[in-house]
Structure formats: C-alpha cells, structure tokens
Amino acid sequence: MGQHLFDLRTVSAPKTVCLVGRTCSDLFPGHLGGVKITRQLWSYRGIFLKASYSNTKTSNQGIYSGSQDNFAAVNGSSLIFGANGASSIHFSRKKSVLDAFEDEYEGIVVNSERLPSNPRVFASILQSSLSYWKQEGKKGVWLKLPLEQSELVPIAVKLGFRYHHAEEEYVMLTYWIPGGPSLLPANASHQVGVGGFVINDKNEVLVVQEKHCAPACVGSWKLPTGFILESEEIFAGVVREVKEETGIDTEFVEVIAFRHAHNVAFRKSDLFFICMLRPLSTEIKVDNLEVQAAKWMPLTEFLEQPIIRGDSMFKKIIDICIERLGKRYCGLAAHPVVSKFDGKSSSLYYNVVEATDFNCPCG
C-alpha cells in the first residue's frame, strides 16, 4: 500500500493542537484532499498523533484503507501516513516523537504499549524524541520495555538510558535529560518480611523446621516467617504465611516489634516485623515445599533451644512476646485510615490504650 500525503496548511491552527488525552475527531473535518477520515485521532500535546483510521478516495482513482499507524504533527507543511506502523513514518521538518505523557514533575513517561516493533525505527525515533524533549526542557524519561521487546534494551542503553528496576514482565530504564546527578527516585531499597508468634491456650508456640536453611539452623525450631507480597498489608501477609507453612488459621493481634537490617539480599535493606497472632484452628498441615516439619511446642522448651539462648536478637524478640502475654507490653495495632494527601486507604500501626481496649490493658 502506498503512502498518503496530507497538506497541513489547509487545516486551521486551533484544530491541529489538542490537549493530552483529548479526542481530536474534528482535526480533519469532512474530506481533506479527497480523503475522508472516519476514525478519531489522538495527540500528545499536539506533537504526536496516533490513530486507527480508514480512508476512502472520493474520486474515481480507487479505494485505499489503512491499519493502525503512528504519525505526527510537524513544524512544516505536510504529514505522511504510513501503512505499516512506525517503520513507515516520514516527516518533512520535525522527526517523530514516541507516544508518551508528561508526569507531574516535568518528566516523560513513554507509552510501552505503543513502541515501534522494528529496532532500527525504535532507535531513530528514540533519538529524535530525546532531542525534542531536551528542547522542551523536560527532565527525566521513564522507558518501560516489555519482555517480548527485550531486543530494544541495548538500543536504549547505547543512547544513555540506565537500568532502574526489572520485574518478570518488563525492565524499566531511565534517562536524566538535564545532565549531572539524576534526581529521579531510586529503585525500592527494602524488602519486607514477617514472622508470626502464635501461642495457644496450652502455652504452646507454633514452630517450624525449614527444609532449606543455614547450617547453624539445621534441626532448630523457629517461628513461621516469610515475605510480604506486592500491595499486601503486613497483617494480611503474616496470616497468609502462617497458613501456607502450617495450615493453621490465625487472627492478627499486633505488631510486637520490628528489625531493620542492611545489605541483606542483593544489597537491599530488610524490614522484619514480628507479629502476635491468635490461633483459630489447631490441626497442622505442613507445606512440603518449604517446611520440613511443624508442631506446637511448649514455650519453655522453645526458649531452651541454643539458637534462641545464644542469639541476643532472637532472645529479645521472645522476651518482648512474653511481656506482651503478661500484659506488661503493648504492640502496634493496625488502623485503617484515608489521607487527603493521596485519597487512598492505608493502614496506620499505632498503640492505643483505652478503657474499652481489653486486648491490651496495660499502662
């Protein structure tokens, strides 16, 4: 299919510029140059337009139809539509710019769903995009490249992008336009773990033996522990971990204490929350993937283990839990709150001692 050239000089200026996210269905009203635009167009601040369109010649010269293409408003007089996506974009004066939106910090977030599939075209458009964003005074650029387009990563790196973080389905790269040290926020610096202190009415503690552990811990019994999942609350995560490892249903009571350590895994820091839980069931069902064994162990027997007696941190944690059992210490309960700062619901952990709070009648 051939390319179709439109003369933008025939379109009034107010109709060639649209706000971000606003439909520009009146950009080419009616027939323009013998071609009728039958679908809506979108723009990025009047610089980059995208469309799914079909066009029909109104003369007797034949009928043309186009698939989804990338095209851009230019400084010059013409705009050329390509019939095969980004690889067929050509402009008279201004080069193309990647589909993106501006964030609240004068940065650019590239639309990862509208990236050119051709690496050579991507390299050309990315380079011209950086030049344009620099002229516009933009700062940071966020470029998310899906796993299925991983061949674009070395191209972006060659142009100055740096790794920010990666997930199973994508890698995020950044580019700091002003030069000098980047002021973009760094990748997440912490991992969050939880441990469940579950004790029944027989004064027995729920403990496990892990299949994979350090040599010093082989044969020892410990509290069920694990990591918080993405977008998971601390109180929900510890209940889930105890259930997964032991089959015991529990109810979150409080955060008893937490430990902050550094350079734990891949140079990340670690927040580990010790939580007190109330058992709701008694029958143990061991998770054979991670846990070798699980049982209810008398508290006194648990305390006599060398790994507990010989480690000041473990001993302190258990001492605090015992103080809590004796109602001489109060932990942090979870309270749902909504902040006007972001309008989102979250959990605030704090200590409240009230006359009606029989769960923690100390102080």
Going by pLDDT thresholds of 50, 70 and 90, the confidence category of residue 343 is confident
pLDDT at 48: 39
With a pLDDT cut of 70, the percent of the chain lying above it is: 71
Answer whether 69's CB lies under 8 Å from 93's CB. Answer: no
DSSP assigned state of 222: B
Backbone angles phi, psi at 58, to 5 degrees: -90, -10
State the pTM of this model.
0.68
> Where are the CATH 3.90.79.10 domain residues in the chain?
197-350
Per-residue CA distances from 71 to 117, 207, 344 (Å): 15, 62, 38
pLDDT averaged over every residue in the chain:
78
> Where are the CATH 3.40.630.30 domain residues in the chain?
100-176
The residue ranking higher by pLDDT, 1 or 262, is 262
**Which superfamily is assigned to 197-350 in CATH?**
Nucleoside Triphosphate Pyrophosphohydrolase (3.90.79.10)
Q: In one letter, which amino acid is 281? A: S
Can you tell me the mean pLDDT for 253-272? 93
Tens of pLDDT along 172-219?
Answer: 999 999 988 999 999 999 999 999 999 999 999 999 999 888 777 788
What is the domain class of 100-176 according to CATH? alpha beta
User: Is it the case that residue 299 has pLDDT exceeding 90?
Assistant: yes
Q: Which residue has the tokens 């889930």?
A: 240
Q: Which residue has the tokens 């070798």?
A: 292
Tens of pLDDT along 69-123?
Answer: 343 433 333 333 333 443 333 333 345 899 999 999 999 999 999 999 999 999 9
Per-residue CA distances from 144 to 110, 207, 216 (Å): 7, 43, 42
Residues in the chain: 363
Calculate the dihedral angle through the C-alpha atoms of 287, 293, 297, 302, rounding to the nearest 10 degrees: -110
pLDDT at 118: 96
Q: How far apart are CA 54 and CA 75, in angstroms?
A: 25
- The gap between the terminal CA atoms of the chain, to the nearest Å, is 81
Collapsing DSSP to helix, strand or coil, 160 comes out as coil
Q: In one letter, which amino acid is 191? A: Q
Q: How far apart are CA 230 and CA 232, in angstroms?
A: 5
Per-residue CA distances from 243 to 117, 203, 281, 312 (Å): 45, 20, 10, 28
Q: How far apart are CA 186 and CA 174, in angstroms?
A: 10
Q: How far apart are CA 312 and CA 308, in angstroms?
A: 8
Q: How far apart are CA 4 and CA 27, in angstroms?
A: 16
Answer whether 68's CB lies under 8 Å from 85's CB. Answer: yes
